[in-house]
Amino acid sequence: MANGKAINMKVITRMITSMDKGLIPGQMGENFIGSWSNGKKNWLGRTFFLPDGTIYDGRWKDDKIWNAKLYDKEGIVIKEIVKGKIKQ
């Protein structure tokens, strides 16, 4: 857990729904909603993993998670990615 604080999912959802976006189904049952260019995930986005309810939320760069947090189904941070690497 990065800081043990829950995310305000309503604020993040409003932010994402206000930008250019689209829903992209993934190969492992996940869904991505957010911005992309040239067929790759870029800038802000959110990936939902079903059925476990985890969410990666943050910035993507060339189809890779760049600066983001992984939240469990209760909205608690369980992992953080900074510049494409897991924060220790």
In which element (H, E) is residue 16 found?
Answer: helix 9-17
User: pLDDT value at position 40?
Assistant: 81
Domain ranges of the chain: 9-86
pTM of the model: 0.63
Task: Give pLDDT tens digits for 10-35.
Answer: 555 554 444 445 555 566 667 778 78
The total of other beta-carbon atoms located within 10 Å of residue 32's CB is 20
Q: Give the pLDDT band of residue 81 (cuts 50, 70, 90).
A: very high
CATH code linked to domain 9-86 = 2.20.110
What is the reported pLDDT for 43? 80
pLDDT of residue 47: 81
In the predicted structure, residue 50 carries a pLDDT above the cut 80 = no
Long-range pairs for 32-38: beta carbons < 8 A, 24 or more residues apart? 34/60, 35/60, 36/60
By C-alpha distance, which of 88, 87, 16, 2 is closest to 58?
Answer: 16
